[in-house]
Amino acid sequence: MTQILVLNSGSSSIKYELIDMAGPQTRAAGLIERIGEPMSTLTHEAQGRQLRIERPMSDHREGLTAMAEAFEQTIPVRAGALTAVGHRVVHGGDRFAQPAVIDDAVLDAIRDCIPLAPLHNPANLLGIEVAMQAYPDVAHVAVFDTAFHQTMPESSFRYAIDRATADAHRIRRYGFHGTSHAYVSRAAAAFLGRPVAQTNTITLHLGNGASACAVRGGVSIDTSMGLTPLAGLVMGTRSGDIDPGALIHLLNMGLDLGDLDTLLNRRSGLKGMCGHNDLREVHAASARGDRSAASALDVYVHSIRHYLGAYLVELGTLDAIVFTAGVGENDPVVRARVCAGLESLGIEIEASSNEAARGPSDVADIATAASRVRVLVVPTNEELEIATQSLEAVG
Ligand code: ADP
C-alpha cells in the first residue's frame, strides 16, 4: 500500500490526512487545535470511527505524539508503511517551482522565505522539523502554495516600482492557493476530456481566503494574490485590492503598522463591510433588508467579475470557468451573479443545474448546452494534491 501522510502545520494547529494513493482514499484525517494553550484538542476520524483527545499539548511535538496515539487506537500505521510525508508550505519565494524533497538546503530556503510569510513559514518549518524527528526513516516533501504560479511571465509578476528596491526586498507577485488551482484546473481538463496542455481555464478559489487564476495549457499565467495573500479578490476578512495610497493616507492620519495589519487582515472584506464573513450569513442579513450586507455582496461579486474579465482577455480563448472552495462549491447565488449577462462572451449558466450543485462530490457542469465556455463546479482537494505531488517528488 502506498500511503502518504499530509501535514498542514499552523502556529497553533496541525491538520493531517493519511491518504492511500491506490484509491485514492482518505484512511484517516484529523485536526489538532489550540496547541500551546491550557487545553488542546485533537479530533480524528478513521474509516467511520471518531476519536477525540483533550489534554494540554504544549508544542507541535506533543501534538504529533497525540496524532500517533490516535492512529494507534484506530488504524495503526506500521513502521515502513509510509511512502512519504507531504508538508504544505505557504511561501517558497521564487526558489521553488516544484515540490522539494526536504534536506538541509531546502530547510534553509524555507527559512529564507520567512520575511515573505512571517506568520506561516515559521509554523510550517516547525511542523516539518518535528515530523522529521517523529518519522526519521521516511522522505519528507515540501509542497509550496506559491510553486504553481512560478510560471507567470514577468509582465504578470512584476510590480511597477523602482527595480532595485523591488529586487532587494523580493517585492513581486508570487500568488497562493497554488495546490488548489493546480488540482482543479487539471480536474476540469480531465472532466472535459481534453489534454491539460490544450485547456484554458479561469479558476476561482472562493473560500474564506479567495483567489483567481488564469491557467493556459495547465500553466498559471496570472493570479490575483500578490506578494502576500492580501491582494486580489474581496475575502472573508481580508480587503483584497486597495489603492496603496490609501494606506499611506491612513498612516498619515495616525494609524500605526499594527492597526493597518489588523484592519486589512481582520476587519476588512465581507466582515469589515457588513459584520459577517460567512456568505451564508451575508445572504441571510441581506434577505432581512440589511443594506450593508447587500452592498458587501455587490462589492464581492464585482471583484470576482473584475478578474474574470481581465483573465478572459489575457487568455484570449477560454474553455472553462471553474468554481471551487467553500463559496464556489456551495453558493449558487454567487455563481449566478458572477456569470450574469455574459452570454455574448459565450458564458451562460443553466439555472437548475447551478441550483443543484451544492457541495457536489464530483465535478458538476452548470453551463447551458449552448454555452461555448463550460462553467464547472469542482470540489478542491488540496490534501490529495499535496499527496500526489509528494509521491511524484519521491519517484
Ligand atoms: P478556507 O479558506 O478557510 O479553507 P473554505 O474553502 O472552507 O475556507 O470556505 C469557507 C467559506 O465558505 C465560509 O466562510 C462560507 O463563506 C462559505 N460557505 C461554506 N458553505 C457555504 C454554503 N452552503 N453556502 C454559501 N457559502 C458557504
Q: Does any ligand 1 atom lie closer than 6 A to the CB of residue 282?
A: no
| pLDDT score recorded for residue 349 | 98
Q: What is the DSSP string of 207-261?
A: SSSEEEEEEETTEEEEES--SSTTSSS--SS---S--HHHHHHHHHTT--HHHHH
How many other C-beta atoms are found inside a 10 Å radius of the C-beta of residue 290?
Answer: 17
> What is the average pLDDT score of the chain?
96
Phi and psi of 294, rounded to 5°?
Answer: -60, -40
Residue to probe by mutation, ligand 1, list 88, 177, 278, most atoms within 8 Å of CB:
278
CB-ligand 1 contact for 279 (6 Å cutoff): yes
Q: Give the pLDDT band of residue 78 (cuts 50, 70, 90).
A: confident
Residue of 205, 276, 280, 382 best suited for mutating to test ligand 1, as the one with most atoms within 8 Å of CB? 280
Q: Is the pLDDT of residue 262 over 80?
A: yes
Cβ–ligand 1 distance for 278 under 6 Å, the answer yes
Please state, in angstroms and rounded to a whole number, the distance separating the CA atoms of residues 332 and 358.
7
Please identify which residue in the block is written with the cell numbers 491557467: 215
Cβ of residue 208 lying under 6 Å from some atom of ligand 1:
yes
Pick 80 or 75 by higher pLDDT.
75
**60-73 and 121-134 helices cross at what angle (nearest 10)?**
50
pLDDT of residue 133: 93
- CATH H-level, domain 3-144: superfamily: ATPase, nucleotide binding domain (3.30.420.40)
pLDDT at 47: 86
Q: Any idea what DSSP says for residue 200?
A: E
Query: What would the grid cell of residue 240 be?
Result: 483584497
Predicted confidence band of residue 76 (pLDDT cuts 50, 70, 90): confident
Contact assessment for residue 199 and residue 205, using Cβ atoms and an 8 Å cutoff: no
Predicted confidence (pLDDT) at residue 223 exceeds the cutoff of 80: yes
Please give the single-letter amino acid code of residue 70: A
> For 14-18, 28-32, 79-83, which range has the lowest pLDDT when averaged over its residues?
79-83
> Per-residue confidence at 9, pLDDT binned at 50, 70, 90?
very high
Distance (Å, whole) CA 230 – CA 153: 21
User: Does any ligand 1 atom lie closer than 6 A to the CB of residue 116?
Assistant: no
Which residue has 488540482 as its cell numbers? 183
Which residues are identified as catalytic? 145
Place of cell 500500500: 1
Question: Measured in angstroms, how far is the CA atom of residue 207 from the centroid of ligand 1?
Answer: 5
Reported as a single tens digit per residue, the pLDDT across 132-148 is: 999 999 999 999 999 99
Q: What is the pLDDT of residues 300-314, one digit of tens each?
A: 999 999 999 999 999
Range scoring the smallest mean pLDDT among 69-73, 84-88, 312-316:
69-73
Residue 204 Cα to ligand 1 middle (Å) = 13
DSSP structure class, residue 373: B
DSSP 8-state symbol, 197: G
Instruction: Give residue limits of the domains in the chain.
Output: 3-144, 194-382
Whether 194 has a pLDDT exceeding 90, the answer reads: yes
Does this chain's domain 3-144 share its CATH topology with 194-382?
A: yes
Per-residue pLDDT at 332: 98
Q: Is residue 80 over pLDDT 90? A: no
**In sequence order, what are the residues at sequence separation of 6 or more whose Cβ sits closer than 8 angstroms to the Cβ of residue 175?**
146, 148, 149, 152, 211, 213, 220, 223, 224, 225, 226
Confidence of residue 77 (pLDDT cuts 50, 70, 90): confident
CATH entry, 194-382, from 3.40.50.720, 3.30.420.40, 3.40.50.2000, 3.40.630.10: 3.30.420.40
Alpha-helix runs per DSSP H in the chain: 60-73, 104-112, 121-134, 154-157, 163-168, 178-192, 244-252, 257-266, 269-274, 279-287, 291-315, 325-330, 332-339, 351-356, 382-393
Alpha carbon distance 392, 247 (integer Å): 43
Q: How close is the Cα of 331 to the center of ligand 1, in Å?
A: 9
Q: How far, in Å, from the CA of 81 to the mean position of ligand 1? A: 34
Cis peptide, bond prior to residue 24, ω within 30 of zero:
yes
Alpha carbons 25 and 8: distance in angstroms, whole number? 18
Tell me which residue has cell 491612513.
Answer: 250
pLDDT digits (tens, 9 = 90+) for 324-350: 999 999 999 999 999 999 999 999 999
Asked if residue 30 has pLDDT above 90, the reply is yes
CA-nearest residue, atom 12 of ligand 1: 326
Quickly state the pLDDT bin for 32 (edges 50, 70, 90).
very high
DSSP summary character for residue 359: S
| 10 within ligand 1 shell (Cβ under 6 A) | no
Share of the chain above pLDDT 70, in %: 100
DSSP state of 137: T
Distance (Å) of CA 340 to CA 134, 207, 287: 52, 21, 20
The 10s digit of each residue's pLDDT in 149-159 is: 999 999 999 99
C-alpha cell at 279: 456568505
pLDDT the model gives residue 286:
98
Distances (CA, A) of 86 to 15, 337, 361: 12, 37, 24
Rounded to the nearest angstrom, the distance between the alpha carbon of 120 and the centre of ligand 1 is 21
- pLDDT (mean) for 370-391: 97
